[in-house]
Amino acid sequence: MADYKRIGFFAGLGVAVVGLAALVITDRDYPEYYFKGKVGNEHAKFYEDFWGNHVLEVIRPNHRYKMTCVDSDDDLEVDYVKLKNGNNVTEYQNGEDGFEDIVFEAQDQFDLYLGKVTEIQKKALKSPLR
């Protein structure tokens, strides 16, 4: 009977290892976009949060408007948008009926900022060290 328990333990351990390996292999990271600084007059930050979501935060110069876009499944497509204008906060989920145009616009902004971040980082690589 002890052999069955041992076989079950190792079979369970094998399944756990395979599952962890699949998670690690499918997890995509985008360090080329990680950024904290200014894009034009706006403050922008692209990072990976504690849960593995990729987050873009943009704050306008007057600090009254903030856009937060979240990519929760590693495909660089916006899954969630949070807009803050003064004290008003509105949240939108991708696929939510009636708000497709807002999420579509947020995706355009997301792509635009990632493109600008890439340009800024390429310029930084080309500039001589001082």
pLDDT digits (tens, 9 = 90+) for 50-106: 999 999 999 999 888 999 999 999 899 999 999 999 999 999 999 988 889 999 999
In a domain, 15, yes or no: no
Greater model confidence, 97 or 22? 97
- 25: pLDDT confidence band, cut at 50, 70 and 90? very low
40 falls within a domain: yes
The contacts of residue 113 (CB under 8 Å, 6+ apart) are 39, 44, 46, 56, 58
Question: Which domain covers residue 56, as residue numbers?
Answer: 31-126
3-state secondary structure of 23: helix
Number of domains in the chain: 1
Q: Is residue 17 part of a domain?
A: no
